[in-house]
Amino acid sequence: MDHIDLLETKNRELRTRKPLCLRVCMAAGCMSSNGQAVKDSLEKEIRAAGLADQVEVRRVGCLRLCCEGPLVASDPKGELYQKVTPDDAHAVVAALKNGNGELKRGDLQHPFFSRQMSIVLENSGVVDPERIESYIAADGYQALHHALMEMEPKDVVDTVFRSGLRGRGGAGYPTGLKWSTVAKTSGDRKFVVCNADEGDPGAFMDRSVLESDPQRVLEGMAIAAYAVGATQGYIYVRAEYPLAIARLNTAIRQAKQLGLLGGGIFESGFTFNVEIRIGAGAFVCGEETALLASVEGRRGTPRPRPPFPAESGLWGMPTLINNVETFANVPPILRRGAEWFAGIGTQQSKGTKVFALAGKIQRTGLIEVPMGMPLRTIVEEIGGGAPEGNQIKAVQTGGPSGGCIPANELDTPVDYESLVRLGSIMGSGGMIVMDQSTDMVDVARFFMGFCMDESCGKCIPCRAGTVQMHALLEKILKGQATLRDLQRLEELCDMVKNTSLCGLGQTAPNPVLSTLRFFREEYLHRLRSLPISPGIPILPNGSHHGPPVAEAAKT
Amino acid sequence: MAAKTLTIDGRLISAAEDQTVLQAAKDAGIQIPTLCHLEGLSDIGACRLCVVEVAGSNKLLPACVTRIAEGMQVRTDTERLRHYRRMVLELLFAERNHVCAVCVANGHCELQALALALGMDHVRFEYRFPKYSVDITHHSFGIDHNRCILCTRCVRVCWYIEGAGTKNVAGRGAECRIITDLNQSWGTSETCTSCGKCVQACPTGALFKRGSAVAEMERDRTRLEFIVNAREKKQWIV
């Protein structure tokens, strides 16, 4: 395939499009609420109405407002139908011809949609994730062509560097710097690895990107491979994402058929192949050195860095490893320029960030917003606040490595540095909203339990420390702990944070530390006074008739 | 190979440039506590006992896998490090069933010796008392998982020195355990060469020669170093 073929593919796709289109969300969220049946029913209805040559029923990726699924968007009317059932097919088709059937119409002017800004998700809900032509019609693979034909590898690295893009996996390492390191390190072979082992509780950004627009990730990887001099790529995706895996397989097969992956891409000398590696369910395999060990077929445990993967990664070769969302940002950066991207966001954090909005909030779903947007805008305007008029108490970001940001800090702009200042992290993009009914000690215990289960067991502080911290949190929850237990918990937090081998252990205490920082009284209120006088019975709920707890806390 | 100078605990020392902080300190007569490290084996930086403070790094670095650098300033024995090391030991003692009085390695145990050396005289954390089995199906050796600290010395010695690849780790987190082949009893292993290197490598009473009674399991650590030297440097110096 050359550039003319690419444009011809695009034009053919656009030419053959039907005037009307129903975009049916077929990402995992809507699929799990009967989306497939909705699509089948719509197709049947359109055939029955004799509209098959006028209306396209298109399988698309995530339409964002997951809580209202299954979602169907109607073009060119610009309507969004929510909670569509197979029985609604008649009304949806009638609505195409200005019928006014009983349908739950979504408000596309709501801040949930209007405050979003799409770069990573620009094709999500628009293109058919199982047809490469659909991606090409949306200017797909133009960036790769541009890079291969008109840019030197170092110019590609330079463009990514100047864009200010930072790693979307959580830590925010400058992507251009990482690419540059791999490009400058010599090795017999080099590898590009896509980390799709998204495992934070409540996070589904990467899954949505892979299910909605898998070609974009492949294109980003191919551009990266050209920039750093790699010929082989791996996508490490967790087995819990079967739909993403299936769509990736389809995408790789189609890209190979069109000569957009494999040998001599765009009839240049550039070769790049991608293979999928499926994770077996260990959270720690999202840590880069553990992930690489797993790709190599070894036990997925982290190793100390240095050497960093950029220097010694897969089979000791220089390896570039980036997150799904990072790669998904690359094609638009090359297409529209580093300056365009650098103009979005804040001084330190450029571009947009995709968040999975979940928890005690009116509108849950997938959002993409410019960096630096205040947390309040995200949860109160976009998310519509807590349901039933409840007050938002805290927002948890960064999953088990992150922290809880209290309601009085909601005006914090969402960027890498601001969140770190509050003892949380950007993380990969899980955002869990909590209202008044949430017990913060229980939140801390939940995340500690998660880290305890997911610790690989290699280093002692993480393996044994999380067990002890979890036990202490349980003790506090049962009302059986004393102030001394709390001190011990804090001591363990400090020790595990500072001595653990990898990021999992080093950040495992964060949910405890941040809830202790902002909600310390919730811990203190659960402590029992010390000592219990003999003869005072412990109540079944663990509390007892001792002196008021607040007094005990002062001592 | 060029030499570099660095400061460890205020002492100016010189070391070969490919040395780790642990090796350089040892050559200078400075002892850094270790558990997963064993001369002759590749280091994995897992036990975290050897973490040291390096000026200019906000992280504690494991001495066993940290290369020296010119002008490096290392502190190996601050109050903070001693505190963390004692906690590592406390966590280990609380994790499984380390009952010295009835242990084959009593008096010859690295865990016990470290607890003495670092002043860990009591455990402030709740003992977990897990129920673990003892595998004595092998004709010469046995493994008592109650005493295992998962340092993986036995695994590394089995893979990288003996080359048999019999031992491995299964499970994760606190559920980790040393397994034989495909998680079968040791006696049924088809890959085990019964060389006994794993028994020699074990720091505690987890791996032992069958028939050893309390305090009888002494080990000869120098054999491993001897074999590695012989193989890699063609030196047969006892």
Q: What is the pLDDT of residues B121-151, one digit of tens each?
A: 999 999 999 999 999 999 999 999 999 999 9
Q: Are A452 and B91 a contacting pair at CB < 8 A? A: no
pLDDT of A171:
86
Question: Does A488 reach chain B within 8 Å, measured CB to CB?
Answer: yes
Is there a single domain that holds both residue B91 and residue B64?
A: no
Question: Does B150 reach chain A within 8 Å, measured CB to CB?
Answer: yes
Is there a single domain that holds both residue B145 and residue B46?
A: no
**In A, which residues are within 8 Å of B88 by CB distance?**
460-461, 499
Name the domain boundary from B15, B45, B77: B77
Least CB–CB distance from A464: residue in B62, B95, B168: B95
- CATH code for the domain of B43: 3.10.20.740
**Cα A464 off chain centre by:** 29
Q: Are A495 and B126 a contacting pair at CB < 8 A? A: no
Structure token digits, residue A34: 């009967």
- CATH code for the domain of B101: 3.30.70.20
Is there a single domain that holds both residue B130 and residue B168?
A: yes
> Residue B37 is part of which domain span?
3-77
Is there a single domain that holds both residue B53 and residue B101?
A: no
**In A, which residues are within 8 Å of B173 by CB distance?**
452-457, 463, 466-467
The answer as to whether B238 is a domain residue is: no
Name, in order, each residue with C-beta under 8 angstroms of B153's C-beta and a sequence gap of 6 or more.
B36, B38, B41, B198, B201, B202, B203
Report in angstroms the alpha-carbon separations of A46 from A155, A407, B140, B147. Answer: 50, 49, 76, 70
Is there a single domain that holds both residue B58 and residue B87?
A: no
Residue with tokens 């541009």: A146
DSSP string of chain B?
Answer: --EEEEEETTEEEEEETT-BHHHHHHHTT-----SS--TTS-----S-TTEEEETT-SS-EETTTPBP-TT-EEES--HHHHHHHHHHHHHHHHHTT--GGG-TTTTS-HHHHHHHHTT-----SPP------EE--SSSEEEEGGG-----HHHHIIIIII----EEEES-GGG-EEEETTTB-GGG-SS-----HHHHH-SSSSEEETT--TT-----THHHHHHHHHHHH-----
Is there a single domain that holds both residue B132 and residue B33?
A: no
Least CB–CB distance from A457: residue in B51, B60, B174: B174
Is there a single domain that holds both residue B186 and residue B227?
A: yes
The answer as to whether B156 is a domain residue is: yes
Is there a single domain that holds both residue B139 and residue B208?
A: yes
The answer as to whether B159 is a domain residue is: yes
Question: Does A453 reach chain B within 8 Å, measured CB to CB?
Answer: yes
Domains of chain B: total: 2
Please give the domain boundaries of chain A with CATH numbers for all domains. Answer: 18-114 (3.40.30.10), 139-339 (3.40.50.11540), 353-438 (3.10.20.600), 441-554 (1.20.1440.230)
Name the 3-class secondary structure at A350.
Answer: strand
**In A, which residues are within 8 Å of B160 by CB distance?**
none
Q: Where are the beta strands (DSSP E) in A361-423?
A: 365-370, 392-397, 403-406
pLDDT of A440:
96
pLDDT in tens, B49-85: 999 999 999 999 999 999 999 999 999 999 999 999 9
Disruptive mutation site among A294, A498, A499, A507 for chain B (greatest number of B CBs within 10 Å) = A499
pLDDT of A544:
53
Is there a single domain that holds both residue B144 and residue B226?
A: yes
The list of chain B residues with pLDDT below 70 reads none
Q: Are B150 and A457 a contacting pair at CB < 8 A? A: yes
Q: How many CB pairs under 8 A join A and B?
A: 90
Query: What is the C-alpha R_g of chain B?
Result: 19
The list of chain A residues with pLDDT below 50 reads 545-555
Question: Does A456 reach chain B within 8 Å, measured CB to CB?
Answer: yes
Q: Are A453 and B173 a contacting pair at CB < 8 A? A: yes
Strands A20-25 and A55-60: parallel
Question: Does A491 reach chain B within 8 Å, measured CB to CB?
Answer: yes
Disruptive mutation site among B172, B177, B182, B204 for chain A (greatest number of A CBs within 10 Å) = B172
Look up the ipTM and state it: 0.96
Question: Does B149 reach chain A within 8 Å, measured CB to CB?
Answer: yes
Question: Does B172 reach chain A within 8 Å, measured CB to CB?
Answer: yes
pLDDT of A554:
46
The answer as to whether B148 is a domain residue is: yes
Answer for the pair A495, A465: CB distance below 8 angstroms, yes or no.
yes
pLDDT of A4:
95
Q: Are A456 and B94 a contacting pair at CB < 8 A? A: no
Is there a single domain that holds both residue B168 and residue B203?
A: yes
**In A, which residues are within 8 Å of B168 by CB distance?**
299
Name the domain boundary from B77, B111, B137: B77
- Using the Cα atoms of residue A73, residue A79, residue A80 and residue A84 in order, give the sign of their dihedral: negative
pLDDT of A530:
60
